[in-house]
Structure 1
């Protein structure tokens, strides 16, 4: 039996945040806030906008695919041979916001990138929570 299309892996991280969706949205879309929890970035929340993020370990190039303010943000995430998509979903909840991050597109031969994302995103989201706690 031959497989014509390789299965890809996804990383999903979900958090209940004690902040309203509008505040979480700011931290996901404003470059100075993105830098505080993720990476230095020239991100613009506009569909079709290209952006670059930089960290000590390297850079990521992306393009905004979808925006529904305070609800959905999706962009490509390309770096070190990885072509993936990151989708943020914000759902109002009793405590504030249920935040879901899904990064899709890890090929079976990209175990190192997959393991890195599996370990990295929870740490990034901890940083996001610290940034949110400091916002008015």
Structure 2
């Protein structure tokens, strides 16, 4: 196998949000809030917890990998032939929080998944911001 065949691509979305990390963490880890901006789920912020994200078009199998409250969260994101990992990083800044979402693991022969993630994540994060604006 050549390096090109094994190389993977990532989708990264970064935003400065005017909310404290604790508030964003709630929206990233509470199932009813996740359902508002991402998909229906049975998420629990526990390492090793298996959950499924459900949408009209199908589902995504996930396993929680990293849980660092108010700082970092990661989980696998497996759908069809895609084996990837989504990582959220929350960094406090003067204006609130620097939010970074990275989904890694897109193979070069998976342009549809890569394109879908590149188009989809900014929209999901727009919805996340709307949820955060409504939260106390």
Q: CA deviation at 1:6?
A: 1.2
Residue number in structure 1 paired with 2:129: 129
| Counterpart in the other structure of 1:37 | 37
User: Given the two structures, how large is their TM-score scaled by the length of structure 2?
Assistant: 0.97
Unaligned runs of 5+ in 1: none
**Structure 2 alignment gaps of length 5 or more:** none
Q: Distance in 2 between matches of 1:12 and 1:57?
A: 23
Shift of 1:106: 0.3
TM-score (norm 1): 0.97
Residue 34 of structure 1 and its aligned partner are, at CA, apart by: 0.1
**1:41 partner SS:** coil
Coordinate RMSD, CA, aligned: 0.9
Deviation beyond 2 Å, 4+ runs, structure 1: none
Structure 1 SS opposite 2:6: coil
